[in-house]
Amino acid sequence: MFEFQKLCNEVEALTPAQRAALIAEKAASVTEGLYALGLEGTDPVETLAAFIIGSVVSDGVVGEKDLLNINPALTEAFGEACDLAGIQRNYKVSKDVKKLITDYTKQLLAVLAAASEELGADIVMLCLLVTSADGKVSLKEKRYIKQLCAV
């Protein structure tokens, strides 16, 4: 699909303002692209929002800086489907949340099978932008997001 590590390095080098602008831009284009797929029985945006939340919590750390940098842009793009503040409060105590995120990951992989390569690349970029809110994409986050590259 593309050179994943190079993309990670580029995303980590962004300023918070650049990252926020790209999140808003990519979220809008990805949302439009996902709805254009017209998939029956799956809300692709809800699925993507759950995967993004999974990306953020995959390393077990959701800091206040992460939330301040990314939550406004994601809420604007996805609405309440991407409530990172709520997830931060609940994900540690709820194994059900982790199971739900795993289920959504499987659904997103199925959605990507129907998507263009360009849309897939934008989805990966959006996930990397969100997870790099602290300036770094951890190894666990990379591993989690890299699942999308195999489709």
List Cα–Cα distances, 49 to 2, 3, 27, 55, 145, in angstroms: 22, 24, 10, 10, 13
Closest among 26, 32, 92, 85 to 59, alpha carbons compared: 92
Task: Supply the pTM of this predicted model.
Answer: 0.76
> d(Cα 45, Cα 57) in Å, to the nearest integer?
18
pLDDT at 15: 92
pLDDT at 109: 78
Q: In a structure prediction context, what are the per-residue pLDDT tens digits for the chain, which is 151 residues long?
A: 458 899 999 999 999 889 888 988 888 888 888 888 887 777 777 777 777 777 766 666 656 666 666 666 666 666 665 555 555 554 454 566 667 667 777 777 777 787 888 988 888 898 888 888 778 888 888 888 888 787 6
Tokens 């666990």 sit on residue: 140
